[in-house]
Amino acid sequence: MINTQISLLDPVHESLQEVEALLTAQVDVNRSSLERALSRLIGAGGKRIRPRITLLTGSLLGADHKTLLFLGASIEMLHTASLIHDDLIDGALLRRGMETLNTHWSPAASVLVGDLAFTRSSQLILGTASLPVIGMFNETMDRMVEGEITQFAKTQGATTRAEYYDWIKAKTASMFELAAGAAARLSPVDEDVINVARTFGYEIGMAFQIMDDILDFTGEQTTLGKPVGNDLRQRTITLPALIYLETHPDDPDLYTLINRSPIDESNIDRLIVDIRRSEAIDQSLAIADDFLRDALEALGYLPQAPERQALAKIAISLVEMRFSSVGSIIRKYKGEMKHE
Amino acid sequence: MINTQISLLDPVHESLQEVEALLTAQVDVNRSSLERALSRLIGAGGKRIRPRITLLTGSLLGADHKTLLFLGASIEMLHTASLIHDDLIDGALLRRGMETLNTHWSPAASVLVGDLAFTRSSQLILGTASLPVIGMFNETMDRMVEGEITQFAKTQGATTRAEYYDWIKAKTASMFELAAGAAARLSPVDEDVINVARTFGYEIGMAFQIMDDILDFTGEQTTLGKPVGNDLRQRTITLPALIYLETHPDDPDLYTLINRSPIDESNIDRLIVDIRRSEAIDQSLAIADDFLRDALEALGYLPQAPERQALAKIAISLVEMRFSSVGSIIRKYKGEMKHE
């Protein structure tokens, strides 16, 4: 999602390489096949959005460079750990464009590789040597686990937006909040600046997850790295499906999915096509845009600098690629970018 | 293993109640069935040997009371977390005298409950507000996961004592080392006292695990809370089997188990009976006694006080119940006990 042009202009391009080195150093591939599996998962990469946000926020606000690297690496490792256990829990088939551990591996292997990633992320966060930051890290981990438990314990999928928001806050936005908020906490700034950074992280995290959930409906399998409509096939009811439900309260197949009852694949296919064609996609995009707008508004309270511009770019690029109409705040940042 | 008499004389009896309260407060049973499951597992109790060692060591060396409670609760929670994931990994059927999660629950549920226990133990250790102690905690967690991974990655069971010692050090002794060592770290004492406490914890942990592995052969199912010879049935080769192997290098069934090849249950039954009757049990007991002796020797370098006596009692009670011949160091402590 971060295109090459942006990467080249990226003020934290070199720091990201250092984060990569820290991540790689956590795993000795010569020890076992499980460690090689973790190394491959880390190497498969993804977009490194979380450490990028950490590095940019901390660099913008004056955090110590080395400490930031530990924070960024720790958050990326926590993200990897949660992917591994979540894959086992959700039974997802494809992730990061490659087959997950769980398609070939026993649950035991996935548990262990996930535990290894968790313990390595704990080791990395200790590198910040900051008790408040370790506290924020633990709290995030806790929210994520609680979120998974709440989701797992439910006998049916979400039926309200509030439920959906709680769920994506726990699983996604909390980690983005940590990425920006903990970087601010490591910086010589007041509590209200830390809160602004947290807000920025939270809002961008919400926008990011909603975009991801929209893309699950609108994308192509090759781009997504997973089957189209995968969430719905997994009985995961996301925002587009919820909005579709509001306007089609009588769709029998959607209720069947929400209630996790048996259903023909062909009926799911029909539902995915109908949701794709409905107003639900545009409405979901508008909501993602609202979160983006709030993220950019928060950003406006942070000092103006190339790092702030890069944070704005990340935020915009997450939403914009699928959404042509941009609001006034986005235009403001776009204007600033032109004058860089 | 701690009998009632010792409990009544226990200088940390009340502190242990406070640890229980801290543990209980970590889980809101009204949230979900998974949280109720964790609460039941915590409530099922076990002997609380680890927090007991923490409380006694810290109290002996002058650590802050409240900080010690967090450390003790954190270690017990970590222990619980490791039991949950290990059960999933090992497929063990019975634990703490009750059925494990995994007999009824999906792997997903076990992963989540284990993750919850891990994250709560991380929260608790943060209560010590000590970066060095959090570091020791993380290192222990890391060793345990690495130990599990090493074990899992092996295509066959242990064939040497060295392999076995590495394994029980990672899975058991490291946590006992943490229990005593981190308590010392929280106390106003020199580095060498901390090292003595770590050594005591390590040695008692080794003795404890070896006794546990012996009891797996010699105990009765009702006492053990799990089937007799369970380890061997799970293809886990422990000290008695390794010593038996040294004197019976041609036993075909033992090699079949070590190589994890298919084998009839009746052949395992025969092997368990033969190991029970062999010298391997007494020799294993002698080795446990050696570790106990080293633990008590380390203890001799700590200040003499009721807490030290209580630590000695715990150590002795772990080994003595099955082993009548006690060495001179044990007699020394027994002498001291009489004069209390």
ipTM of the complex: 0.85
Residue A101 pLDDT: 55
Residue B96 pLDDT: 47
Residue A226 pLDDT: 63
CA dist A59 and A54 (Å) reads 8
Lookup: tokens for B126: 């943060």
Q: Which residues are CB-contacts of B17 (< 8 A; sequence separation ≥ 6)?
A: none
Instruction: For residue A256, give its domain range.
Output: 4-338
pLDDT band at B2 (very low <50, low <70, confident <90, very high): very low
> What percent of chain A lies above the pLDDT cut of 90?
60
Give the DSSP letter of residue B173.
I
What chain A residue is nearest to B106 in terms of C-alpha separation? Answer: A89
Give the DSSP letter of residue A160.
S
pLDDT band at B262 (very low <50, low <70, confident <90, very high): confident
The full DSSP string for B218-251 is HS-HHHHTS-TTHHHHTT---HHHHHHHHH-TT-
Work out the average pLDDT over B212-216: 90
- A35 contacts on B by Cβ (under 8 Å): 149
Q: Is the pLDDT of residue A155 over 80?
A: no
Question: Nearest Cα to A276, choosing from A215, A322, A196?
Answer: A215
pLDDT band at B53 (very low <50, low <70, confident <90, very high): very high
- B138 contacts on A by Cβ (under 8 Å): 119, 122-123, 126
In the A/B pair of chains, how many CB contacts fall below 8 A? 108
Work out the average pLDDT over A288-315: 95
Q: Count other C-beta atoms under 10 Å from residue B335's C-beta.
A: 9
Q: At A191, is the secondary structure helix, strand, or coil? A: helix
- Which one is predicted more confidently, A31 or A275? A275
What stretch of H or E contains B95? strand B94-95
Give the least confident one: B46-50, B93-97, B208-212, B296-300.
B93-97
Q: In this structure, what are the phi and psi dihedrals at residue A154, rounded to the nearest 5 degrees?
A: -70, 140
Instruction: Answer left, alpha or beta for residue A27, where phi above 0 means left and psi between -120 and 50 means alpha.
Output: beta
Closest in B108, B112, B141 to A119, CB measured = B141
pLDDT digit string, tens, across residues B278-318: 999 999 999 999 999 999 999 999 999 999 999 999 999 88
Give the least confident one: A32-41, A170-179, B283-292.
A32-41
Residue B93 pLDDT: 40
Question: Nearest Cα to B207, choosing from B312, B305, B132?
Answer: B312
Angle at A263 (CA atoms; ends A259, A264), nearest 5 degrees: 160
Question: Nearest Cα to B131, choosing from A221, A161, A131?
Answer: A131
Work out the average pLDDT over A122-139: 97
Contact present, B267 and B16 (Cβ < 8 Å): no
Residue A340 pLDDT: 43
According to DSSP, the β-strands at A94-95 and A98-99 are antiparallel
C-alpha count within 13 angstroms, C-beta hemisphere, residue B263: 21
CA dist B272 and B97 (Å) reads 21
Q: Is the pLDDT of residue B328 over 60?
A: no
pLDDT band at B102 (very low <50, low <70, confident <90, very high): low
Q: Count other C-beta atoms under 10 Å from residue A328's C-beta.
A: 8
Work out the average pLDDT over B116-129: 97
Q: Is the pLDDT of residue A173 over 80?
A: yes
Residue B237 pLDDT: 92
Closest in B31, B122, B131 to A122, CB measured = B122
Closest in A89, A107, A112 to B145, CB measured = A112
CA dist B288 and B210 (Å) reads 6
Lookup: tokens for A276: 């794709």
- B141 contacts on A by Cβ (under 8 Å): 119, 122
- Which one is predicted more confidently, B153 or B320? B153
Question: Nearest Cα to A47, choosing from A214, A176, A234?
Answer: A176
pLDDT digit string, tens, across residues A245-284: 999 999 989 988 888 888 888 999 999 999 999 999 999 9
Give the DSSP letter of residue A304.
P
Contact present, B198 and B180 (Cβ < 8 Å): yes
What stretch of H or E contains A99? strand A98-99
Residue A207 pLDDT: 95
How near does any CA of chain A get to the CA of B145, in Å? 6
CA dist A174 and A179 (Å) reads 9
Lookup: tokens for A8: 């080249």
What chain B residue is nearest to A116 in terms of C-alpha separation? Answer: B145
Chain A residues bordering chain B (beta-carbon distance below 8 Å): 31-35, 85, 88-89, 107-109, 111-112, 114-116, 118-120, 122-123, 126, 129, 131, 134-135, 138-139, 141-142, 145-146, 148-150, 152-153
How near does any CA of chain B get to the CA of A101, in Å? 14
Q: Is the pLDDT of residue B130 over 90?
A: yes
Instruction: Answer left, alpha or beta for residue A100, where phi above 0 means left and psi between -120 and 50 means alpha.
Output: beta
What is the dihedral sign for C-alpha A27, A33, A36, A42?
Answer: negative
Q: Do B148 and A109 touch (CB under 8 A)?
A: no
CA dist A2 and A142 (Å) reads 29
Residue B182 pLDDT: 98
Give the DSSP letter of residue A303.
P
Q: Is the pLDDT of residue A336 over 70?
A: no
CA dist A211 and A217 (Å) reads 10
List the CATH number of the domain containing A248. Answer: 1.10.600.10
Work out the average pLDDT over A203-227: 83
Closest in B112, B123, B150 to A149, CB measured = B112
- A141 contacts on B by Cβ (under 8 Å): 119, 122
Q: Count other C-beta atoms under 10 Å from residue A213's C-beta.
A: 22
Q: Is the pLDDT of residue B257 over 90?
A: no
pLDDT band at B340 (very low <50, low <70, confident <90, very high): very low
Q: At B98, is the secondary structure helix, strand, or coil? A: strand
Closest in B109, B126, B142 to A138, CB measured = B126
CA dist B118 and A156 (Å) reads 27
Residue A325 pLDDT: 39
C-alpha count within 13 angstroms, C-beta hemisphere, residue A213: 31
Residue A154 pLDDT: 82
What's chain A's average pLDDT?
A: 86
Helix runs in B91-190, H state only:
101-104, 107-126, 131-153, 161-168, 174-185
Lookup: tokens for B44: 């099922």
Work out the average pLDDT over A192-204: 98
Burial class (CB in 10 A: 0-12, 13-18, 19+), A193: middle
- B131 contacts on A by Cβ (under 8 Å): 126, 129, 131
CA dist A183 and A198 (Å) reads 9
Q: Is the pLDDT of residue A339 over 90?
A: no
CA B212 to the chain's CA centroid: 8
CA B197 to the chain's CA centroid: 16
- B35 contacts on A by Cβ (under 8 Å): 149
- B139 contacts on A by Cβ (under 8 Å): 123
Residue A78 pLDDT: 97
Contact present, B297 and B329 (Cβ < 8 Å): yes
Lookup: tokens for A101: 């551990």
Which residues make beta-bridge pairs with B98? B95
Total tally of structural domains belonging to chain B:
1
What stretch of H or E contains A213? helix A191-218
Q: Count other C-beta atoms under 10 Å from residue B223's C-beta.
A: 11
pTM above 0.80, yes or no: yes
CA dist B330 and B325 (Å) reads 10
CA distances, A264 to each of A92, A160, A220 (Å)? 19, 24, 22
Work out the average pLDDT over B239-249: 95
Q: At A190, is the secondary structure helix, strand, or coil? A: coil
Give the DSSP letter of residue A313.
H
Q: In this structure, what are the phi and psi dihedrals at residue A99, rounded to the nearest 5 degrees?
A: -65, 145
CA dist B224 and A27 (Å) reads 38
Q: Is the pLDDT of residue A331 over 80?
A: no
Contact present, B204 and B299 (Cβ < 8 Å): no
pLDDT band at B94 (very low <50, low <70, confident <90, very high): very low
Q: Do B108 and A89 touch (CB under 8 A)?
A: yes
What stretch of H or E contains A95? strand A94-95
Work out the average pLDDT over B30-45: 86
Chain B residues bordering chain A (beta-carbon distance below 8 Å): 31-35, 85, 88-89, 107-109, 111-112, 114-116, 118-120, 122-123, 126, 129, 131, 134-135, 138-139, 141-142, 145-146, 148-150, 152-153
Work out the average pLDDT over A202-227: 84
Q: In this structure, what are the phi and psi dihedrals at residue A66, rounded to the nearest 5 degrees?
A: -65, -40
The full DSSP string for B250-314 is T-HHHHHHHTT----HHHHHHHHHHHHHSTHHHHHHHHHHHHHHHHHHHHTTSPPSHHHHHHHHH
The full DSSP string for A245-269 is HHH-TT-HHHHHHHTT----HHHHH
Q: Is the pLDDT of residue A184 over 50?
A: yes
Chain A interface mutation, best of B67, B118, B145, highest count of A Cβ atoms under 10 Å: B145
Q: At B29, is the secondary structure helix, strand, or coil? A: coil
Burial class (CB in 10 A: 0-12, 13-18, 19+), B36: middle
